[in-house]
């Protein structure tokens, strides 16, 4: 088994859920403590509340991963008389680091909105509203043939080579590299002032432009030469697009009351709110969904021809606007996002098996649902 540091875990996490996919101004990333330490116990939570902090301390958690950033707005005072602020001091005193992934977890492929669709048996067809349009770059790097596999694996671990539904894609050709070490060179192969030639592989991978720094970093680290030879290209390929929310279709058309019952059962709800226009909807086939507070995207749901739009925290006046626009909306609340806890821990345990990590991943057992239905 391999001991793990916080930095190593988050490096893998950010390959899956990159910071650059978060909406502008979203305070994602490390909020409290340090990642520069060994970690043995990691816990996933939706919210960071005093009760969750007590649970983390009791379970001797080293790193807390949260969907909702604990410091969403600037803190003007930090006093331990306030329970909400005292929890920050408790986290620091017990060396519990807190890292948040918010809208980037909503936007990523195989993220929270995809999990909602999976739970509701929806076949995903599109995102609800576009958030990012990311150009691609291509790296071509030349390595000795015997180092080629190590280089391909390192580049893939950094996120290079993901194309649509495929990952770890690359292309290699074999040729002859020629060089003469001079001056203060310290060659791995060859001797000073003597021409050398080596059978080399040219490895080509593409990646989204925001990954450039990370990809070049691992390329240099994995390369046996002190001065790697490589080319970096900007591509005119269609950019990679990302979006919030999802639009999908049910296998079978359902009567609206039956679909509402399905939503309640799927998310274990005692109640939910329905917004219905004057012309009542009878059946449901095409559904738009956006976790959290996505009321402002209801027009996108209409443009995507959704029969129903599911989102939380619908505001009174926005509900009137939805009615006037003729869209049926279901508000199951914000807490359905707690689905992220079990799904993310499934992902963490998969990485654990792949990398032989010595670490335990836990799901927070504390409910942070503030509402009850009577």
- CATH code: domain of residue 69: 3.40.1390.30
Return all residues near 282 (Cβ < 8 A) that are at least 6 apart: 255, 256
Residue-level pLDDT at 164: 78
Residue-level pLDDT at 165: 80
* Residue 296: CB atoms within 10 Å: 12
**Residue 353 and residue 107: Cα distance in Å, rounded?**
25
| 144 shares its domain with 65 | no
Among residues 26, 68, 61, 19, which one has the least CA distance to residue 46? 68
Low pLDDT (below 50) residues in the chain = none
Q: What pTM did the predictor assign?
A: 0.90
| 116 shares its domain with 249 | yes
Residue-level pLDDT at 56: 98
Strands 283-290 and 308-311: parallel
Residue 149 forms part of a structural domain: yes
| 256 shares its domain with 315 | yes
Q: Is the separation of the CB atoms in 100 and 62 below 8 Å?
A: no
- CATH code: domain of residue 196: 3.30.70.120
Give, in order, the Cα–Cα distances in Å from 117 to each of 113, 126, 127, 289, 363: 6, 11, 11, 8, 21
| 95 shares its domain with 228 | no
| 211 shares its domain with 271 | no
Among residues 209, 145, 206, 137, which one has the least CA distance to residue 170? 206
| 170 shares its domain with 35 | no
Domain count, the chain: 3
Among residues 35, 42, 247, which one has the least CA distance to residue 127? 247
Residue 233 forms part of a structural domain: yes
Domain boundary among 238, 259, 287: 238
| 94 shares its domain with 149 | no
Q: Is the separation of the CB atoms in 40 and 127 below 8 Å?
A: no
pLDDT tens for 334-348 read 999 999 999 999 999
Residue 372 forms part of a structural domain: no
Residue-level pLDDT at 78: 87
Strand order across the 122-134 sheet: 122-134, 240-255, 283-290, 308-311, 328-331, 273-275
Helix axes of 50-58 and 83-93: crossing angle, nearest 10 degrees: 20
Residue 359: which domain range? 4-105+338-363
| 254 shares its domain with 304 | yes
| 258 shares its domain with 115 | yes
Residue-level pLDDT at 276: 97
Residues in the chain: 374
Residue-level pLDDT at 39: 98
Residue 152 forms part of a structural domain: yes
Residue-level pLDDT at 361: 98
Return all residues near 240 (Cβ < 8 A) that are at least 6 apart: 132, 133, 134, 135, 136, 208
Rg (C-alpha) for the chain, rounded Å, is 25
* Residue 12: CB atoms within 10 Å: 17
Q: Is the separation of the CB atoms in 127 and 247 below 8 Å?
A: yes
């Amino acid at each position: 088994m391999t001991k793990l540091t916080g930095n190593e875990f988050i490096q893998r996490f950010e390959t899956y859920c990159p910071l650059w996919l978060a909406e502008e101004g979203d305070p994602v990333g490390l909020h409290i403590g340090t990642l520069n330490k060994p970690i043995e116990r990691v816990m996933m939570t939706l919210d960071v509340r005093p009760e969750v902090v007590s649970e983390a301390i009791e379970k001797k958690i080293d790193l807390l991963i949260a969907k909702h950033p604990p410091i969403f707005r600037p803190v003007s005072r930090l006093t331990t008389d306030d329970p909400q602020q005292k929890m920050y001091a408790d986290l620091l005193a017990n060396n519990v680091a807190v890292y948040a992934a918010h809208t980037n977890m909503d936007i990523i492929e195989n993220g929270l909105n995809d999990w909602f669709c999976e739970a509701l048996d929806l076949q995903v067809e599109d995102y609800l509203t576009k958030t990012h349009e990311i150009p691609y770059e291509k790296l071509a790097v030349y390595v000795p043939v015997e180092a080629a596999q190590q280089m391909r694996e390192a580049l893939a671990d950094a996120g290079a080579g993901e194309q649509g539904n495929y990952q770890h894609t690359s292309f290699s050709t074999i040729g002859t590299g020629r060089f003469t070490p001079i001056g203060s060179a310290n060659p791995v192969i060859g001797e000073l002032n003597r021409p050398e030639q080596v059978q080399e592989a040219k490895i080509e991978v593409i990646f989204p432009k925001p990954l450039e720094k990370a990809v070049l970093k691992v390329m240099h680290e994995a390369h046996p030469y002190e001065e790697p030879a490589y080319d970096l290209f900007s591509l005119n390929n269609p950019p990679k697009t990302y979006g919030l929310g999802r639009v999908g279709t049910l296998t079978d058309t359902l009567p609206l009351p039956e679909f509402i019952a399905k939503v309640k059962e799927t998310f274990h709800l005692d109640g939910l709110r329905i917004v219905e226009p004057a012309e009542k909807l009878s059946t449901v086939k095409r559904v738009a969904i956006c976790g959290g507070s996505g009321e402002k995207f209801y027009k996108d749901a209409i443009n995507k021809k959704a029969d129903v739009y599911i989102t939380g925290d619908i505001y009174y006046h926005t509900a009137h606007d939805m009615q006037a626009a003729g869209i049926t909306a279901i508000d199951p609340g914000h807490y359905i996002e707690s689905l992220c806890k079990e799904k993310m821990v499934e992902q963490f345990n998969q990485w654990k098996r792949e990398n032989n990590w010595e670490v335990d991943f836990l799901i927070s057992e504390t409910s942070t649902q503030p509402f009850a239905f009577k």
